[in-house]
Copies of this chain bind each other. A is one copy, B any other.
Amino acid sequence: MKPIILDGTVVSNEMKANLKSRVKLLKQRDVVPCLATILVGDNPASETYVRMKGKACEEIGIKSVRVHLPIELTTNELINSIERLNADPSIHGILLQHPVPEHINERQAFEAINTEKDVDGVTSSGYGQTAFGIGHFPSCTPSAIIKILNYYNIPIKGKHAVVVGRSPILGKPVSALLLNEDATVTTCHSKTENLAEILKMGDIVIGAVGRPEFIQGDWLKKGVIVLDAGYNKGNIGDVDYKSCYGIASAITPVPGGVGPVTIATLLEHTVLSAENL
């Protein structure tokens, strides 16, 4: 039997339609939601991402401010830029495009973003709030994964979710969100022994490892739900789609799966931040 293809475009289009009308209502109150994106240096992939996010903002009426900083920037200079945006009441969300150049302390820069404007969900304080169920802006890709599961009425409660990856903006927050949805959650990573044995137990498997086509179909249980949060070079996911296709009962494609919902979630957070003012 063919799996259900979890189509992120459908989910994101519905979200965007809803956001468009919320932005209209805000504008009636003279509030224009505004996302500031910070790009350090000239990494072409990062430039593309920032441009894409800017275009998505435009599409639904969110103003976007691009802050493009030179590659020679120090960590302190970057933090100063972030603090100016923190203090600016016309900015509702701040996104620091990563990766930043290697000489910059990325974590320190992320931590400088006000939790209230951390619409991308990168700060440790935002993560803590997410994990404790009191936050507004979970990291966008993890949030997108939950949205897709909910959209397709896939039960999470009591299910065993296995997350492959433990990065601060992907593996850790998606584990936290799934736990808050009452899944039993196993977080795996590069040091995990017998990964295939553990994956075999997963009712829901999340690829969040950053290794192209890493997760193999024969590691999975028949009927598993597979969500691929990978974004490797050349638009390749973390899941070997071909070998998983015949095993899964539902699967996200790459592209067109988690990606578009991630961007829509970033927009949603920016609108939410403007609404909360």
Residues on A close to B: CB < 8 A? 107, 111, 123-129, 131-132, 134-135, 157-160, 166, 168, 172, 175-176, 179, 182, 184-189, 191-194, 198, 201
Contact = CB atoms under 8 A, between A and B. Distances in A.
B128 A123 contact: yes
Nearest to A194: B160
A188 B188 CA distance: 15
B192 A184 contact: yes
A44 B187 CA distance: 40
> Of A172, A175, A185, which is in contact with the most chain B CB atoms at under 10 Å from its CB?
A185
Contact of A129 (B124, B160, B184): B124
A188 B184 contact: yes
A205 to B, nearest CB: 14
Contacts of A158: 191-193
Contact of A124 (B128, B175, B193): B128
Q: Which A-B residue pairs are the 9 nearest by beta carbons?
A: A128-B128, A124-B128, A186-B186, A182-B191, A127-B128, A184-B192, A125-B125, A124-B132, A158-B193
A223 B166 CA distance: 27
A192 B182 CA distance: 8
B179 A184 contact: no
B184 A187 contact: yes
A182 B131 CA distance: 20
Contacts of A131: 124, 127-128, 131, 168, 172
Given A124-B134, A158-B192, A160-B193, 17 more contacts: A107-B134, A111-B134, A123-B128, A124-B129, A125-B128, A127-B128, A128-B131, A131-B131, A132-B168, A160-B198, A175-B187, A182-B191, A184-B188, A184-B189, A184-B198, A186-B186, A198-B201
A36 B58 CA distance: 51
7 contacts: A107-B134, A111-B134, A125-B128, A157-B191, A166-B179, A184-B187, A186-B186
A251 B168 CA distance: 32
Contact of A184 (B124, B125, B168, B193): B193
Nearest to A197: B201
B184 A185 contact: no
A107 B133 CA distance: 11
Nearest to A188: B184
A245 to B, nearest CB: 26
Contacts of A166: 179
